Amino acid sequence: MQFLAKLNRFYEPFLWFAGLLLLWEITVRAADVSAQVLPPPSAFLARIYEIRGELFYHSLMTTKIVLYGFFWGAVPGIFLGYLIANYKLAEKLIYPMVVFIQGLPKITLAPLMLVWFGFTDFPKVLLTALVTFFPILVDSVAGFKSVDYRHYYLSKSTGSTWWQTFWKFQLPSALPNIFSGFKITIVIAVTVVIVVEWLNSKNGIGYFVLRAMKAFDVTSVFAALVVGSLIGVLLSYLIVMIENYVIPWRRR
């Protein structure tokens, strides 16, 4: 019974998605909407199969930038989150600066980054890291502040080192919040990378969408958007799988 329940939870989102596509298909064909305005799902799903090799290549390029940017946003976010949560001086000095940086419109920085760093992958990685950094930082601060103070008393009574206290008490307590931030920001990272690829790229899903738009190929645009959404879904599921492995006591 438990296996069937897990199977239902796994397939239920796909069934809802399939139902939505079916409704879309029926509505578009019944209303006789032009494919240049809103193509039916059968059209762009067939296009995905037709150009699957090209889409796979561009998907890999986009996923690579997403993972690089996510990593370089997550690591400083967790590190500074730990400092802000545990040291008042760090909270007073670092947090206002971080909030100020977060207030900057990140997408508008893209042209400046192109001027500063050129047409390379670095501006895309840097911009993605900036966007993902703040949510992970906030969740990390909340996680490290949620540590039960009785754990500190236990740690001191057993003569634990700083590293042992961090590894055995602080990090496990903060991980649920940190992974919550991961699951939110990984999807945001995919969106940011695709948008930035419109401005600076010779590959990737964003570049493919821009090229299809210039050719007025709406069906290919929808095909690329579906593939971009799948990248976000798969990366989100990957985060959940890692969370279940790293935090086994949260599976229930």
d(CA 173, CA 157): 19
Give how far the C-alpha of residue 210 lies from the chain's centroid of Cα atoms, to the nearest Å.
Answer: 22
pTM: 0.85
Over 70: is that where the pLDDT of 57 sits? yes
Find tokens 């409704």 and name the residue.
23
Taking residues 106-126, what's their average pLDDT?
78
pLDDT band, residue 26 (cuts 50/70/90)? confident
Residue 227: CB atoms within 10 Å = 21
Instruction: For the chain, report the end-to-end CA distance as a whole number of angstroms.
Output: 15
Taking residues 39-55, what's their average pLDDT?
88
Encoded tokens for 183: 């699951």
Decide which of 221 and 100 is more confident.
221
At 57, which amino acid appears?
A: Y
Write down the pLDDT at residue 195.
Answer: 85
Closest among 232, 204, 226 to 39, alpha carbons compared? 226
d(CA 86, CA 90): 8
Show the domains of the chain with their CATH numbers.
47-250 (1.10.3720.10)
Over 60: is that where the pLDDT of 131 sits? yes
Q: Write the CB contacts of 35 (distance below 8 Å, at least 6 apart in sequence).
A: 43, 218, 219
Contact 205, 194 (CB under 8 A): yes
